Protein backbone atom coordinates (compact mmCIF):
# COMPACT_ATOMS: atom_id res chain seq x y z
CA UNK A 1 0.00 0.00 0.00
CA UNK A 2 2.85 2.36 0.84
CA UNK A 3 4.54 1.69 -2.48
CA UNK A 4 1.32 2.39 -4.40
CA UNK A 5 0.74 5.65 -2.53
CA UNK A 6 4.27 6.81 -3.28
CA UNK A 7 3.81 5.94 -6.94
CA UNK A 8 0.59 7.91 -7.13
CA UNK A 9 2.17 10.94 -5.47
CA UNK A 10 5.15 10.75 -7.79
CA UNK A 11 2.89 10.62 -10.84
CA UNK A 12 0.86 13.64 -9.76
CA UNK A 13 2.30 16.89 -11.11
CA UNK A 14 0.37 20.09 -10.41
CA UNK A 15 -0.18 22.26 -13.52
CA UNK A 16 2.40 24.98 -14.05
CA UNK A 17 0.72 28.41 -13.98
CA UNK A 18 0.85 30.11 -17.39
CA UNK A 19 2.62 33.46 -17.46
CA UNK A 20 0.31 36.45 -17.77
CA UNK A 21 0.60 38.51 -20.96
CA UNK A 22 1.31 42.17 -20.18
CA UNK A 23 2.28 45.34 -22.01
CA UNK A 24 3.63 48.36 -20.18
CA UNK A 25 3.33 51.84 -21.63
CA UNK A 26 3.69 55.54 -20.98
CA UNK A 27 1.28 58.30 -21.98
CA UNK A 28 2.76 61.42 -23.57
CA UNK A 29 0.21 64.25 -23.62
CA UNK A 30 0.39 67.67 -25.22
CA UNK A 31 1.89 66.43 -28.47
CA UNK A 32 0.83 67.15 -32.06
CA UNK A 33 0.60 65.01 -35.18
CA UNK A 34 0.03 65.85 -38.85
CA UNK A 35 -3.47 65.19 -40.17
CA UNK A 36 -2.22 62.54 -42.59
CA UNK A 37 -4.55 61.64 -45.44
CA UNK A 38 -6.99 64.54 -45.05
CA UNK A 39 -7.35 66.25 -48.39
CA UNK A 40 -8.68 69.45 -46.81
CA UNK A 41 -5.97 69.61 -44.13
CA UNK A 42 -3.00 68.70 -46.35
CA UNK A 43 -1.78 70.78 -49.27
CA UNK A 44 -0.21 67.60 -50.66
CA UNK A 45 -1.14 64.10 -49.49
CA UNK A 46 1.79 62.54 -51.35
CA UNK A 47 5.25 62.62 -49.82
CA UNK A 48 6.65 65.08 -49.05
CA UNK A 49 3.28 66.03 -47.58
CA UNK A 50 2.38 69.29 -45.91
CA UNK A 51 -0.41 68.78 -43.37
CA UNK A 52 -1.89 70.81 -40.55
CA UNK A 53 -0.88 69.80 -37.02
CA UNK A 54 -3.57 68.42 -34.71
CA UNK A 55 -3.34 68.14 -30.89
CA UNK A 56 -2.56 64.52 -29.99
CA UNK A 57 -1.62 62.08 -27.27
CA UNK A 58 0.87 59.23 -27.67
CA UNK A 59 0.58 55.83 -26.00
CA UNK A 60 4.16 54.56 -26.13
CA UNK A 61 4.83 50.87 -25.50
CA UNK A 62 7.84 50.34 -23.26
CA UNK A 63 7.96 46.68 -22.18
CA UNK A 64 6.08 43.45 -22.86
CA UNK A 65 6.07 40.08 -21.15
CA UNK A 66 6.50 37.16 -21.03
CA UNK A 67 7.88 37.56 -24.57
CA UNK A 68 7.54 39.51 -27.80
CA UNK A 69 3.99 39.69 -29.17
CA UNK A 70 3.15 39.60 -32.90
CA UNK A 71 1.45 42.86 -33.89
CA UNK A 72 -1.11 40.86 -35.89
CA UNK A 73 -2.24 39.25 -32.63
CA UNK A 74 -2.95 42.60 -30.95
CA UNK A 75 -6.37 44.21 -31.47
CA UNK A 76 -7.10 47.82 -30.54
CA UNK A 77 -10.59 48.74 -29.29
CA UNK A 78 -12.03 52.17 -28.58
CA UNK A 79 -15.24 51.80 -26.58
CA UNK A 80 -17.47 54.85 -26.57
CA UNK A 81 -20.82 55.35 -24.82
CA UNK A 82 -21.64 51.65 -24.80
CA UNK A 83 -20.58 50.85 -28.38
CA UNK A 84 -17.35 50.09 -30.25
CA UNK A 85 -16.23 53.27 -32.00
CA UNK A 86 -13.21 51.61 -33.58
CA UNK A 87 -11.74 48.10 -33.70
CA UNK A 88 -8.67 46.97 -35.61
CA UNK A 89 -5.58 44.83 -35.43
CA UNK A 90 -2.50 47.00 -35.12
CA UNK A 91 -1.21 46.30 -38.67
CA UNK A 92 -4.54 47.48 -40.10
CA UNK A 93 -4.20 50.88 -38.43
CA UNK A 94 -0.56 51.33 -39.34
CA UNK A 95 0.87 54.56 -40.67
CA UNK A 96 3.57 53.80 -43.25
CA UNK A 97 5.91 56.69 -44.10
CA UNK A 98 6.78 57.55 -47.70
CA UNK A 99 3.46 56.38 -49.11
CA UNK A 100 0.41 58.14 -50.47
CA UNK A 101 -1.32 59.11 -47.23
CA UNK A 102 -4.79 59.14 -48.75
CA UNK A 103 -4.36 55.59 -50.05
CA UNK A 104 -2.70 54.57 -46.80
CA UNK A 105 -5.77 55.63 -44.83
CA UNK A 106 -8.54 54.38 -47.09
CA UNK A 107 -11.72 53.37 -45.30
CA UNK A 108 -12.06 49.71 -46.21
CA UNK A 109 -15.31 47.82 -45.72
CA UNK A 110 -16.02 45.29 -44.44
CA UNK A 111 -13.29 45.47 -41.85
CA UNK A 112 -11.91 47.50 -39.00
CA UNK A 113 -10.59 50.52 -40.87
CA UNK A 114 -13.70 52.68 -40.53
CA UNK A 115 -14.99 54.50 -37.49
CA UNK A 116 -18.24 53.00 -36.24
CA UNK A 117 -20.58 54.49 -33.63
CA UNK A 118 -20.19 56.22 -30.27
CA UNK A 119 -23.51 55.53 -28.60
CA UNK A 120 -26.03 57.12 -30.96
CA UNK A 121 -23.38 59.25 -32.71
CA UNK A 122 -22.54 57.91 -36.17
CA UNK A 123 -19.95 60.08 -37.96
CA UNK A 124 -20.76 58.45 -41.32
CA UNK A 125 -24.33 59.73 -41.05
CA UNK A 126 -23.20 63.18 -39.92
CA UNK A 127 -20.75 63.69 -42.78
CA UNK A 128 -22.40 61.53 -45.45
CA UNK A 129 -19.49 59.17 -46.03
CA UNK A 130 -17.55 56.48 -44.17
CA UNK A 131 -14.89 57.99 -41.92
CA UNK A 132 -11.36 56.49 -42.15
CA UNK A 133 -9.67 55.32 -38.97
CA UNK A 134 -7.01 57.99 -39.45
CA UNK A 135 -9.49 60.59 -38.22
CA UNK A 136 -9.12 59.01 -34.77
CA UNK A 137 -5.47 57.98 -34.79
CA UNK A 138 -2.97 55.46 -36.07
CA UNK A 139 -0.34 52.90 -35.09
CA UNK A 140 3.26 54.07 -35.45
CA UNK A 141 6.06 51.50 -35.75
CA UNK A 142 9.74 52.30 -35.34
CA UNK A 143 10.32 49.61 -37.97
CA UNK A 144 7.31 49.32 -40.34
CA UNK A 145 8.55 45.87 -41.40
CA UNK A 146 8.61 44.43 -37.87
CA UNK A 147 6.17 41.58 -37.25
CA UNK A 148 6.54 41.84 -33.46
CA UNK A 149 5.72 44.77 -31.21
CA UNK A 150 8.86 46.75 -30.44
CA UNK A 151 9.60 48.89 -27.40
CA UNK A 152 9.02 52.44 -28.61
CA UNK A 153 6.15 51.63 -30.98
CA UNK A 154 3.12 53.79 -30.23
CA UNK A 155 -0.54 54.55 -30.79
CA UNK A 156 -1.11 58.19 -31.75
CA UNK A 157 -4.60 59.51 -31.00
CA UNK A 158 -5.82 62.93 -32.12
CA UNK A 159 -7.46 65.18 -29.55
CA UNK A 160 -10.32 67.07 -31.19
CA UNK A 161 -9.91 70.81 -30.94
CA UNK A 162 -12.40 73.56 -31.73
CA UNK A 163 -9.58 75.96 -32.61
CA UNK A 164 -7.12 73.88 -34.66
CA UNK A 165 -6.31 72.76 -37.21
CA UNK A 166 -7.75 74.95 -39.93
CA UNK A 167 -8.52 73.77 -43.42
CA UNK A 168 -5.54 74.50 -45.64
CA UNK A 169 -5.86 78.02 -47.00
CA UNK A 170 -8.63 78.93 -44.55
CA UNK A 171 -8.80 80.66 -41.19
CA UNK A 172 -12.03 78.88 -40.18
CA UNK A 173 -11.99 75.92 -37.79
CA UNK A 174 -11.94 72.48 -39.40
CA UNK A 175 -15.63 71.54 -39.56
CA UNK A 176 -15.79 69.32 -42.65
CA UNK A 177 -14.71 66.23 -40.74
CA UNK A 178 -14.15 65.20 -37.17
CA UNK A 179 -10.60 64.47 -36.11
CA UNK A 180 -9.82 62.98 -32.77
CA UNK A 181 -11.41 61.44 -29.72
CA UNK A 182 -14.99 62.74 -29.38
CA UNK A 183 -14.92 65.72 -27.05
CA UNK A 184 -17.68 64.36 -24.80
CA UNK A 185 -15.40 61.45 -23.85
CA UNK A 186 -13.62 63.92 -21.57
CA UNK A 187 -16.82 64.99 -19.83
CA UNK A 188 -17.93 63.71 -16.44
CA UNK A 189 -18.12 59.90 -16.67
CA UNK A 190 -21.66 58.67 -17.22
CA UNK A 191 -23.43 55.42 -16.47
CA UNK A 192 -23.41 53.61 -19.82
CA UNK A 193 -19.98 52.09 -19.24
CA UNK A 194 -19.10 52.61 -15.57
CA UNK A 195 -16.77 54.00 -14.51
CA UNK A 196 -15.99 55.78 -17.82
CA UNK A 197 -17.94 56.68 -20.93
CA UNK A 198 -14.92 56.01 -23.15
CA UNK A 199 -12.00 53.69 -22.74
CA UNK A 200 -9.29 51.92 -24.73
CA UNK A 201 -8.42 48.24 -24.70
CA UNK A 202 -5.76 46.26 -26.50
CA UNK A 203 -6.41 42.51 -26.44
CA UNK A 204 -3.71 39.94 -27.17
CA UNK A 205 -5.05 36.76 -28.78
CA UNK A 206 -2.44 34.73 -26.94
CA UNK A 207 -1.39 32.38 -25.72
CA UNK A 208 -2.43 33.28 -23.17
CA UNK A 209 -5.24 35.58 -24.31
CA UNK A 210 -5.42 38.71 -22.21
CA UNK A 211 -6.37 42.37 -22.09
CA UNK A 212 -2.87 43.82 -22.11
CA UNK A 213 -3.81 47.52 -22.16
CA UNK A 214 -6.76 49.27 -20.50
CA UNK A 215 -6.87 53.07 -20.48
CA UNK A 216 -9.86 55.22 -19.47
CA UNK A 217 -9.97 58.26 -21.73
CA UNK A 218 -10.16 60.37 -18.58
CA UNK A 219 -6.44 59.62 -18.17
CA UNK A 220 -5.68 61.38 -21.45
CA UNK A 221 -5.42 65.10 -22.11
CA UNK A 222 -8.62 67.12 -22.43
CA UNK A 223 -9.29 68.99 -25.69
CA UNK A 224 -8.47 72.65 -26.28
Structural domain boundaries enclosing 40: 19-219
Say if 169 falls within a structural domain.
yes
Say if 144 falls within a structural domain.
yes
Say if 13 falls within a structural domain.
no
Angstrom distance (rounded) from CA 12 to CA 143: 47
Supply the pTM of this predicted model: 0.80
Say if 5 falls within a structural domain.
no
Q: pLDDT by residue for the chain (224 residues), tens digit each?
A: 444 444 444 455 555 445 678 899 999 988 888 877 666 777 765 665 677 788 889 999 999 988 889 999 999 999 988 889 999 999 888 876 555 454 445 565 444 578 888 888 888 887 777 788 888 888 999 988 899 999 999 999 988 665 555 554 455 555 555 678 887 787 655 444 444 578 999 999 988 889 999 998 888 865 55
Angstrom distance (rounded) from CA 100 to CA 53: 18
> What total number of domains does the chain contain?
1
Say if 62 falls within a structural domain.
yes
83-89 sheet: strands from edge to edge: 83-89, 74-80, 198-204, 210-216
Say if 199 falls within a structural domain.
yes
State the virtual CA torsion across 30, 31, 36, 39 in degrees, nearest 10: 50
Say if 115 falls within a structural domain.
yes
For residue 121, give the DSSP letter.
B
Strand partners, 139: 94, 155
pLDDT confidence of residue 198: 87
Say if 8 falls within a structural domain.
no
pLDDT confidence of residue 193: 46
- Max CA pair span of the chain: 91
Amino acid sequence: MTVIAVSILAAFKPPVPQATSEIYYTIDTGTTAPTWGDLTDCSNVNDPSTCAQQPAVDIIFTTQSPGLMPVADLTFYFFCNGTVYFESTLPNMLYIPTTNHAANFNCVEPGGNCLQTCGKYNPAEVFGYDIPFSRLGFFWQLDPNATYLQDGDSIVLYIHSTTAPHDVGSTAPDTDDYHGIPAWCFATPGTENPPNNCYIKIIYSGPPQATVVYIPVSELAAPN
